[in-house]
Structure 1
Amino acid sequence: MFFDENRLRDPDFFRENRLDAHSDHAVEPAYRLCLNGLWKFAHAVNPSQVIPGFEQPELDCHGWGDIHVPAHIQLEGWGTPQYANTEYPWDGLADIRPGELPENFNPVACYVKYFRLPEDMRGKRVFISFQGVESCVALWLNGTYIGFSSDSFTPHEFELTDALRDGENKLACRVYRWCSGSWLEDQDFLRFSGIFRDVYLYAVSSVHVWDLKIVAEPDETFTNGILRWQAKTETPAGTRLAVCLKDGDEVLAEGRGEVSGRMESEGSLTADRIRLWSAEDPYLYELRLTLTAPDGTEETAVQKVGFRKIEIRDSIIRVNGVRVVFKGVNRHDFCGETGRAVTEEKVRRDLLTMKRNNINAIRTSHYPNASMLYRLCDELGLYIIDENNMESHGMWDMLWQGYIKIDQMFPGAQKAWEPMLLDRIRSVTERDRNHPSVIIWSCGNESLTGPVILAMSREFKRLDPTRPVHYEGDHQVDFFDPALRLREITDIETEMYTPAHKVRAYLKEHREKPFILCEYTHSMGNSNGAMHKYTELAYEEELYQGGFIWDFIDQGLVMRDRFGKETLTYGGDWDDRPTDGIFCGNGIVFADGRETPKLQEVKYNYQDIVVRPDAEKMEVINRHMFTSTAAFRCVAVLARDGKEIARREIETNVAPLSSAVYPLPFGKQTEPGEYTVTVSFRLREDKPWASEGFETAFGQGVWSVEEKEHTCQHLSGELFFMNSPWNITVRGDHFSVQFSRLTGALTSYRWGDTEYLKGPLLPNFWRAPTNNDYGNRMPQRYAQWKIASQYCTAGFDPETSKKNAAVRPQQEADGSVTFTMTYDLPTKPAASCAVTYRVRPCGRVDVRMDYDPVKELGEMPEFGMITKLSADCGRVRFYGLGPEENYIDRREGARLGIWDYRAEENLTPYLLPQECGNRTGVRWAEVTDAKGQGLKLWLNGGEFSALPWTPHEIENAAHGYELPPVNYTVLKLSTRQMGIAGDDSWGARTHPEYLLDVSRPLRFEFSFKGI
C-alpha cells in the first residue's frame, strides 16, 4: 500500500488504515510514551517541494531544524497565521472552485520523530494517537506507509506494531494545510496547520478494553440510578470481567462475567439514592471495568460517571426533569500565546472564569474541542452542546453572491460528501458520549441544509438516542427557498442574533420545539449592550431557553510591536492576505485570558439569584434548578452617600425556582442622604472553581432621605471680574477663571498657583466609534457631530464674534457671576448650543449646556463637554455606577458606590482602540495628582470618563501602541452617551430607548471646583 497524494481533493478519501473511533476512557496500567516535544521539521510551500524520500530510514533527518509539538507551524516560524471569517483562505491564491484545491500553494509540513520503545511496551501491540492535526496527516514508520486521516479536530489513531524495529525508530508524517475536508472546515477562526494537539504511543497487552459506552440515568422518581454499559474487548479465552460502580472508596454496585476474543459485552448496574449530576452540582461516580486473563494479565478501564437525564418534554429541554436555561458562551480551543494548541492549565483557567461569571453552558464552536475540555466540564459543572466539525460558510457566501446555485451548495444534497461527514459524526460521538456534560449534539454550523445533513442528524440519533440534536443552518435556508427546509434535522428551534422582540413574536406562533439562540449578543470590542432583554425573556417565555454569547475569547495573538513591547494582534497584523481583520475580536475575555469589563454585565445577567431590595425589605428570586439559597451566605450592606454604615448577615432558604420576601435588618433611616443597600449571595464553602465567600449574585436598592443639595462653602468671599475685547476673567480669594470671547471656551482655571486646564472646556458630541458603531455605519450617519465637536466655535465668524462680544457678566445676589456663551456648530443645517457659566465666590463653577434640536440632524452620539488636565492629575475617585466601565444599555451589573482608578489604566485594551472607560450615574468625581490636588466635579447622575487621550486620538489608532505618548488626562462629561449596542456587529443599531432623545431640548449641568 502506498499514499496517493492525488486523492487529497477526493471527498471519499478521508481515512486509510485509521482505527475506528472510540471512547476516551482511561486505562490502568497505561503503557504510554508521550511524543510531545521537539520534532525534526522541514517545510514545503507545495507538495512538489517536499524532500523526496524523507520518510525512508536511509535519509538522515537528525540535522533538520526543530519544531515544537503540539504547536501550529505558523507560530513556530513557518508561514504566517491567517484570520478569515467566511472566505476560503486560499482565495486570491487560486480560483475558488468547489471541491478543488490550490495546485501551486498547498504547504506541506514534514515532521520526523526518532524514538526508542520503552521496555514495558515491547512485545505488545503498539499504536499511535494524534489527538489533533490540521488539516490531514499521512504517516510512515521506518519507511513503511501506515495510513492517512483527515478531520482536524478528532483523534487519528493507527497501529504501528508490524513496522516497529528494535532500537531507534523513525516516525515521519506529512501534514497538508488543505485537503478535501478543508471545504467543510471554513469556521470563523484563525487559520493554522500542523500537529496542534497531543501525540503519544500506547501499547495494548493481551487484554484490552477498546471502547466503552455508558448511559447513566436516574429512574422515573429521580432517586435511584441505572447504569447501562457496553464494552468492546479483546481477550484470551477464559478472561474474567468485573464491573463496579464506586462513590469514592465505597462500592455501590458490581457485576461479574467472562469474555473471550474480540467481542462486545454489556450489562447494567443499579445504585440506590444517587446524587444527580448537573451544572449546579456536578457529582461524579467512578465506573471500573476490569479484565483479568488466566495468566494474571490485567487491565482496568476507568470512566467518571454522572447520573443525569436529558429530555425534551412539552417542547421544553429538561435536565433531570427540570427546565434548563442556557446561560452560555461559544468557545474555541484558543489562547493568545499558542492558538488552538491549548494546555490543560489554560483550559481550566478559562472554565474557572466561566464558572465565576455564572456561565453554565458551552457550545464548542464549531468543531469538537480538545478531549480534556469535556473531562473538566464533567468535574466543574458546565453543559455542552458538542458540535461536529462542519462549516461550509464560504459556500453559503458564494450562493448569496450568485457564484453558485443552491443545488451546487455542499454538503446539501451532494452525496459524495456524506461518508466523510458521517465518519465525523461517529468520531465525535464515540469519543465524547460518556461525558455527562455533553447534553446536546450539533451537526455543525452555517452550512444551510440538505439530505446529507439530515443523514448526519439521524446518525447521531442512531448512535446515541439519549440526547437531542441541534442544528441552526436548516433555518437559514428560508432566505433562499423555504421549501428546502428539513425540520426533522433539529430537535431544537435555533437561530442566531435574532432580536429579543422577534424571538417573542416567533414563539407566539410556533410552540412545537424549544427555542435557543446558539449565538447572540455579539461581543465584539465594547459590546453586549441590551443583553438583559434576552436574559429576562428566558423567564417570561418558557420555550425560550437561553443562548450562547459569541464568543468567549478574543482570537488575538500575543506578539511584539515594532518597539519590542508585548501586545495583542489581530487579522492583517501578520501580513495575512486575504484577511477579515479585527472581526476575530469577539471575546468576553481578552486573548491572554484577562477578563474584560463586559463580564461585569454577563455575570449579573446570568446570576441564578435575583435580589430586589428597597428601604425596608428584599425580594429574593431563586432561579437555580436544584439549589436552595440556604447554600449561600446572604450579606446585606447599608451605605449612606457611598460609605458603609452597617452590615448584617441574613439567613435565607428560598427553594429552587421560587421566591420569598425578607425584611431588611437596618430599620428606618432618618439622616439625610442617599442610601444604598447591597445584598450579596456568597459561597458558604470552597468550590473547585472559587473559594468560600466568593460572590455569585447581588442586588442593590437605592433611595434618598431629604437628599441634600450640594452647597458651596465660604460664600463670603468677593469676586472680581474683568471684561476685555478678548477675554472675561473672574477672580476670587484663591482662584481665577478665564473665558475666551473668541472661542467661547473656558480656557483657564487656576486654584492657588496651579493652572489645571491644559486644554479648553468645549462642547462635545462625539465618542470614539466602537466595533458595533462601525458595523452599523454610525460614523457615516453621525459624521457631522464629529466635525461639530472638533470645530464648534464662537469666534472668527463676524456675526458670532459680535454675539459673544456683547456678553456682559451679571453679578448675582449671592455674589456669583453668570454669563452665557453661544457656539455655532458647523452642521448642515446649521445649529448652535449655549453654555451658561456661574462662578461662585468659593471657586466652584456651575456649567449648563443647552441645545435646541434641529430635526434634520437627528441623534448625536453624546451630549456633554470635554477638557484636558495634566497627566499628573490621573488619580480618579468617583461616586457612581462601577466598578467597571458601564453604559446606558450595559449597566445592569454595575452598582452604586465610591470607586477609584488611574486614568492611564482606564483605556480598556480592546484589540481595536475604541470608546471605553465610561461610567454612568455619577454623582461626583475627583481627579487629582499624587498629593490629592486637582478638581472635584458634581455631575448630578451624568456620565464621566478620564482617559489619557481624546476620542479623536483613540479613533485614529488601529492598535494601542499607535496612541501618542501620554501627556494629558482627558475629561469627558455628559448627560448621556448613546448605548453601545451588541445584538450583532454588522448592522444592529443601539436600541431606540438608549439613544439621546432629540424630540425635546437637551440640557447638561455639572459643576467643578479645585481641591
Structure 2
Amino acid sequence: MKSDKANLEWLSDPEVFAVNTLPAHSFHPVYASYDEAKNEKSSLVQSLDGAWRVEYAKNYQESPSDFYKENFDYSDFDYVEVPGNLETQGFGNPQYVNIQYPWDGSEDLHPPMVPKNNPVASYIKKFDLDPSLISKRVSLTFDGAATAIYVWLNGHFIGYSEDSFTPSEFDVTDFIREKDNHLAVAVFKFSSASWLEDQDFWRLSGIFRSVKLKGKKELHLEDLRVNGDVIDDKGNLRIKASLSGNISLKSYIQVSLLNQENKVICSNKRKVTHAINTFSFPQLNIKKWSAEAPHLYQLYVSVISEGRLIEVSKIDVGFRHFEIKDKVMYLNGKRIIFKGVNRHEFNSRFGRSVTKEDMVWDIKNLKRNHINAVRTSHYPNQTYFYELCDKYGIYVIDETNLESHGTWQKVGKEDPKENVPGNNNRWLKNCLFRAENMLRRDFNHPSILMWSCGNESYAGSVIGKMASFFKKNDPSRIVHYEGVFHNRAYDEISDVESRMYARPEEIEEYLTENPQKPYISCEYMHAMGNSVGGLKLYTELEKYPQYQGGFIWDYIDQGLEKKINGHKQLVYGGDFDDRPTDYEFCGDGLVFADRKNSPKMAAVKALYNNVKMKLENRSLTVKNENLFIDTSQYYFKVSILINGEKVWESQSFDLMVKAQECKKFKLSLPRHLDKNKKEVIYQVVQYLKHDELWAKSGYELGRAQYVKDKFIEKYHPQGRPKLINGDYNIGVEGDDFKVLISKDQGHLVSLKYAGQEYLKKQPQFAFWRPLTDNDRGAKMGFEMAKWENAAKYAKLTDIKLKYLTSSVWIKLAYELPFALCDELTITYQIDKKGFINVHAHFPGTQQAERLPEFGLSLVLSKKLDHFTYYGLGPQENYLDRKAGAYFGKYKQTVKNNFTPYLRPQECGNRSQVRYCELLDENGVGIRVQSDHNSFNFSALPYSTEQIEMADHFYELPKSNFTYLKLLANQMGVGGDDSWGAPVHSEYCFPANMQYDLRFTLMPVYKL
C-alpha cells in the first residue's frame, strides 16, 4: 500500500500492515570492493544504532503529535538505546503472559480491536549521511520493531509497518540529505498485529533490533536466491540474481564459488539484459553440509558496468539435500533425528534485544551439549543467528511470526469461533506477508530445513495458503505446522506429524499404528524449574524409523533483571505489577536467564550424544549414531576409580567406528589394583581431539561407567558405650562424644563430638519436598497434602533399649496422623567411638498412593558449610534424571548447592550416594556412610518450609543452619509438561510399601 500521509486507523485494520515498504528480499551483504568483502566491512551501510531521544506516553493522546517536524523542540526528551526494548530501559512495565492477551480482563476486545490504553514511544534520531552514501539511492531498514511503527524523515511521512521480527525497509532517497537529518518514529505497543503475536513471552515494545541506512549504486543486486542441492553425491548450484537500477548494454554479473582454501570451484560471467538472471552449475565436486560437518563455500556475486566494479556481495553456500521418502525425513540420504530445543531470543538485561555475543555463546553451548537443532520459537530470529547455524552446524525450523493462541484456547477448552486467522480472509494478506518476509530474507541458509507456518494458531484456510506459498516458492524444504493436530480437516498443511507434549506412550501409539507422516515433537520435555525427568523415555523412541526427534521447551529462562533492595535479582511475571500475568511460567529453560547452564543440561548432553558407549567389565561397545562422520575426531581414555578416587588412567587412544555402525572393543586394564573392601569402577571418557569453533581440544563429550565391584561398608560396632537412662532423656557417652535422646520430645536432641554440638534442632522424618513447578502443575499438593505436615506431627508411641555386646540399641516408634500398616520406627545402634548406626523404617500406608520421599531431615550447625560426597554428580540428579551424572568424589559448598530456579523449589539432591561429609572450614564435621544400600542426600542453607514459602530467591531468610536431608528415596521430578503430567510411574514410590533408610553417622576429625 502507498500513502503520503499517516493514518491512525491503520492500527486496527488487519488489511493494512505495510505502507510504502520495499518488497522483502534476501539478506546479502553488499560491498563496494573485494577488499571490503574480504574484511566484511561495508562502506555502503551506515548504522543508526546508539543513543536516540524518546518521549514515552501511555496513549496517543498524551504523545507529542508533531514531534516529526524538523523544528520540533525535543530537548526535554529522554535518551534510549537502540537496539533495545523500551520496558527494559524504564519506559513502561514489562508484562509476561502466555496464552491470554495482555489486555484480558481490562478491556473487552475482539479481533482486530486495539486497546484504548495503547502506549506510544516517539523516537527521534539526528544524523548526518555518511559520505559514502551521498549521491546514491538510500534505503532505511528497521530489522525489528514492536509492534507498529510510523516513520518520518525531515518532516516527510515515509511509511508504516507492523511485522515485528522481519525487516521493514523504506526508500528514503527523495527525502534524505547530507547533513542534519531528522528521523522520527512513532512506535505503538499494540495494533491489530498484536492478535497475531500472542507468543509465550514478555510483552515488550520498541526498536529492539538494529536500524541502518543502505546505499544502492546505479546498478544493485536487490535479491539473491541460492540453492545448493546434492544429486547423486554431486553438487548442483542454482542462482537467481535480481537487479534494480540502470541496466545498460555493458552490464555484467559475475558469480564465483570458492572453497575454504579460496580455490574457485565454478565461475561464470554473463552480460545482463534483464532484471532477473539465473545461473546453474551441475555436477560439482563438493563436500556436503550437515550439522556434523558444516562445510561451507563462499559465493561472490559481482555487479559490473562499463568495465567497472559496481558492487560485490558475498554469502556462504552449503550443499545438502533434504526430503521425505517413504514417510521418513532424510538429509543427504540418511534418516535424520532432531535433537533440538526451542529458542526465544532473550537477554535478562535487554529483553529480546540480544547481542552477537549472546548468539555466539548460545551456538557454542548448543554444540557442546550435542543439541543439533533449533526451532525459532515463534518468530524469525536475527539474521546473524542463522549465519552461525550455517557455520557451526545447527538444523533450523524457521518459524513465521504468527501465534494467536488466546483467540481459540480458553480456560479448560478449545473455542475457535474467533480464531485468528482461521478462515477469515481479512487476515490472509497479512499472514502471507509474514511468510514471504521470512522466506525471502532467510532462503539462502543451508541450516534451515523446514519452514513453519507459525505456532498455536489452530488451523484454517489462511494457514493452508501460507503452506501452499512455502511449497510453491521453495520445494527444497518441507513445511511444518503443529496446529493441524487440533483441526484435522487441514492435515495437508504440515508435511510432518508434529505434536506438543505428547507423552511417550502416545507417541509410540502413533508410530505403531500405520503412521502416514514422519513424527517430531515440536515441543516436549517442558523444562520448567527442576525438570527434564524422563527424557530417556523419549530418546528410546528413536528405534522407530518415523520417530525423528523433538525440540525441548525451551532453551533459556525468561527472567528479567530488577533491582530489589539495592541488589539485582532475576524476576518473573507479576514482579513489575503486571496484570494479568502468568508468573513464573516464563522460567522453563535449560539455561538460566544469566546464561549459565542449569543442572538439567547434563541429562540433555548425555542423552543427545550421538556416540553411545556401553561399558561392561573390560568390554566397551561404541555405537556411532552420527550420520556422516566417524569417530576419528575424538579420542578416548579409560580409567579406574576406587571408592570414587581415580587411581589409574590410560594414555589417550582412538576408537574407529564408522557413521551408523557399532563396534565392541576389549580394553586393556591393570589387574593388580587392591580391591579388598573397596568399590571398583571402570570409566571411559570421550574427548574432542582437535580444536573446533565451539570447543577446544580435550573438551569432554561423553562418559560411560561400569561398577565392577560394588561395595557398601557395613557398620561394625567398636565397643559398648555408657548409657544413662534418665527420667526425661537417654544419654549415651563414649570416646569424646555424647548423645541425648529426649523421651518427652521423642527424638535425638543432642549430638556432640569433641565438645562440639552439631545438632541444632531435633531430626524429623522427611516425607515432603518443596514443590517443584511440575509438582504444582500436576496438583501434587492436592493429591499428597497429608504428607506435608505428617513428619511435624509424628507422635512417639514407644521407646525400647537394649544392651548389646559392643553397642547399645535404642528403638523409637511413632504413629502418624493417618493409618500405617505397622510401626514407623527409628533405631539407633551406638558404639563407644560415637559411631551411630541409624535405621529408619517406613511400614507403608493402608492406602495406595504416592510417597514424595522418605528419610530423615537434620538441622546442623551453620559452620558445616561445605561437603564432599561419593555418589552420582557433580550436579544435582534425581531418579528420573540420572543421565549425565557419574560416580565420583565431589566437593561443593552448601550455599552453592542451592539451585537458582526462578521460583525456589526442590533442588540439590544427589543419588546413589555411598557417603557424604559435612565439614567446617577446618575440615572437621560429620560423615554419613551408607549401610546395606546407597542413599540420597541434599545439604542446603534453607529448610523445606522456607523454600516452600518463598516465591523468589530474595525472599529466603538469612541462612542460620545447614539443612541435611538423608533419603531412602525421592520421586522423580517429571517433565512431560508442567500443567498436569504426573511423574512417570516407574519413577514414583507407592506409599503402601515398606522402605528403609540405613546409614552410619560418625565424626570427622582434623588430621
Find the residue that maps to 1:148 and give its secondary structure. strand
Letter in 2 for 1:657: Q
Residues 526 and 770, structure 1, Cα contact 8 Å, conserved in 2: yes
Deviation at 1:148, TM superposition (A): 0.7
Does 2:690 match 1:685? Answer: yes
1:599 to 585, 595, 601: 601
Does 2:49 match 1:44? Answer: no
Question: Paired residue for 2:39?
Answer: none
Deviation at 1:712, TM superposition (A): 4.4
CA distance in 1 between partners of 2:411 and 2:914 (Å): 54
Equivalent residues in 2 for 1:205-354 (5 A)?
205-220=217-232, 222=233, 224-234=234-244, 235-237=246-248, 238-248=250-260, 249-260=262-273, 263-270=275-282, 272-294=284-306, 296-354=308-366
CA distance in 2 between partners of 1:46 and 1:679 (Å): 63
Question: Paired residue for 2:759?
Answer: 757
Letter in 2 for 1:392: S
Does 2:102 match 1:101? Answer: no
Deviation at 1:62, TM superposition (A): 4.2
Change (3 A) 1:156 1:708: closer
Question: Paired residue for 1:791?
Answer: 793
Letter in 2 for 1:232: S
Letter in 2 for 1:507: L
Deviation at 1:858, TM superposition (A): 2.3
Deviation at 1:591, TM superposition (A): 0.5
Letter in 1 for 2:694: W
Equivalent residues in 2 for 1:579-658 (5 A)?
579-648=581-650, 649-658=652-661
Find the residue that maps to 2:272 and give its secondary structure. strand
Change (3 A) 1:183 1:108: same
Residues 93 and 102, structure 1, Cα contact 8 Å, conserved in 2: no
Does 2:972 match 1:984? Answer: no
CA distance in 2 between partners of 1:87 and 1:763 (Å): 42
- Say which is worse superposed, 375-384 or 856-865, in terms of deviation: 856-865
Question: Paired residue for 1:201?
Answer: 213
Letter in 1 for 2:897: N
Question: Paired residue for 1:797?
Answer: none
Residues 849 and 990, structure 2, Cα contact 8 Å, conserved in 1: no
Residues 253 and 271, structure 1, Cα contact 8 Å, conserved in 2: no
1:834 to 809, 812, 825: 825
Question: Paired residue for 1:929?
Answer: 920
1:660 to 653, 659, 663: 663
Deviation at 1:612, TM superposition (A): 0.6
Letter in 1 for 2:576: W
Letter in 1 for 2:667: L
CA distance in 2 between partners of 1:599 and 1:52 (Å): 50
Residues 416 and 458, structure 2, Cα contact 8 Å, conserved in 1: no
- Say which is worse superposed, 874-883 or 992-1001, in terms of deviation: 992-1001
CA distance in 1 between partners of 2:979 and 2:744 (Å): 43
CA distance in 2 between partners of 1:857 and 1:568 (Å): 40
Find the residue that maps to 2:409 and give its secondary structure. helix
CA distance in 2 between partners of 1:80 and 1:271 (Å): 57
CA distance in 2 between partners of 1:422 and 1:873 (Å): 63
Residues 611 and 700, structure 1, Cα contact 8 Å, conserved in 2: no
Deviation at 1:630, TM superposition (A): 2.0
Question: Paired residue for 1:526?
Answer: 530
Does 2:142 match 1:130? Answer: yes
Residues 257 and 264, structure 2, Cα contact 8 Å, conserved in 1: yes
- Say which is worse superposed, 149-158 or 673-682, in terms of deviation: 673-682
Find the residue that maps to 1:486 and give its secondary structure. helix
Question: Paired residue for 1:465?
Answer: 475
Residues 750 and 759, structure 2, Cα contact 8 Å, conserved in 1: yes
CA distance in 2 between partners of 1:747 and 1:861 (Å): 26
Identical columns (%): 39
CA distance in 2 between partners of 1:407 and 1:772 (Å): 32
Deviation at 1:910, TM superposition (A): 0.3
Find the residue that maps to 2:388 and give its secondary structure. helix
* Number of aligned residue pairs: 983
Question: Paired residue for 2:804?
Answer: 812
Deviation at 1:58, TM superposition (A): 2.1
Does 2:82 match 1:69? Answer: yes
Find the residue that maps to 1:993 and give its secondary structure. helix
Does 2:539 match 1:535? Answer: yes
Residues 847 and 992, structure 2, Cα contact 8 Å, conserved in 1: no
CA distance in 2 between partners of 1:180 and 1:510 (Å): 42
Find the residue that maps to 2:359 and give its secondary structure. helix
Does 2:407 match 1:395? Answer: yes
Residues 252 and 271, structure 1, Cα contact 8 Å, conserved in 2: no
Does 2:517 match 1:513? Answer: yes
Deviation at 1:120, TM superposition (A): 1.4
Change (3 A) 1:42 1:594: same
Q: Deviations over 1:317-360 (max 9, x none)?
A: 11111111110000001111111000111111111111111100
Q: Deviations over 1:620-642 (max 9, x none)?
A: 11111111112200111111111
Deviation at 1:7, TM superposition (A): 2.1
CA distance in 2 between partners of 1:664 and 1:759 (Å): 51
Residues 43 and 50, structure 1, Cα contact 8 Å, conserved in 2: yes
Q: Deviations over 1:572-615 (max 9, x none)?
A: 11111111000000000000101101011110010111111121
CA distance in 1 between partners of 2:900 and 2:188 (Å): 36
Question: Paired residue for 1:954?
Answer: 947
Provide TM-score, normalisation by structure 1.
0.95
Residues 141 and 211, structure 2, Cα contact 8 Å, conserved in 1: yes
CA distance in 1 between partners of 2:464 and 2:376 (Å): 20
CA distance in 2 between partners of 1:916 and 1:832 (Å): 30
Question: Paired residue for 1:674?
Answer: 679
CA distance in 1 between partners of 2:86 and 2:608 (Å): 39
1:121 to 124, 127, 133: 133
Any unmatched runs of 5+ in structure 2? 33-41
Letter in 2 for 1:273: N
Find the residue that maps to 1:505 and give its secondary structure. helix
Question: Paired residue for 2:390?
Answer: 378
- Say which is worse superposed, 595-604 or 650-659, in terms of deviation: 650-659
CA distance in 2 between partners of 1:37 and 1:60 (Å): 20
CA distance in 2 between partners of 1:827 and 1:100 (Å): 56
Residues 608 and 697, structure 1, Cα contact 8 Å, conserved in 2: no
Letter in 1 for 2:522: C
CA distance in 2 between partners of 1:858 and 1:126 (Å): 71
CA distance in 2 between partners of 1:148 and 1:295 (Å): 39
Deviation at 1:824, TM superposition (A): 2.2
Question: Paired residue for 1:17?
Answer: 20
CA distance in 2 between partners of 1:625 and 1:670 (Å): 42
1:1004 to 976, 997, 1000: 997
Does 2:959 match 1:966? Answer: yes
Residues 399 and 406, structure 1, Cα contact 8 Å, conserved in 2: no
Residues 342 and 376, structure 2, Cα contact 8 Å, conserved in 1: yes
Deviation at 1:730, TM superposition (A): 0.7
Q: Deviations over 1:975-1011 (max 9, x none)?
A: 1011101100000011111111334322111111011
Find the residue that maps to 1:161 and give its secondary structure. coil
CA distance in 2 between partners of 1:868 and 1:708 (Å): 26
Letter in 2 for 1:313: K
Residues 821 and 846, structure 2, Cα contact 8 Å, conserved in 1: no
Residues 407 and 413, structure 1, Cα contact 8 Å, conserved in 2: no
Find the residue that maps to 1:512 and give its secondary structure. coil
CA distance in 2 between partners of 1:323 and 1:178 (Å): 44
Deviation at 1:543, TM superposition (A): 0.4
Letter in 1 for 2:976: D
Find the residue that maps to 1:203 and give its secondary structure. strand
Letter in 1 for 2:51: L
CA distance in 1 between partners of 2:215 and 2:822 (Å): 80
Find the residue that maps to 1:173 and give its secondary structure. strand
Q: Deviations over 1:819-875 (max 9, x none)?
A: 210122123689851111100222110111112212236222110001111111111
Q: Deviations over 1:229-275 (max 9, x none)?
A: 001112430112111000132111100101146x1000112464311
Pairwise CA RMSD:
1.5
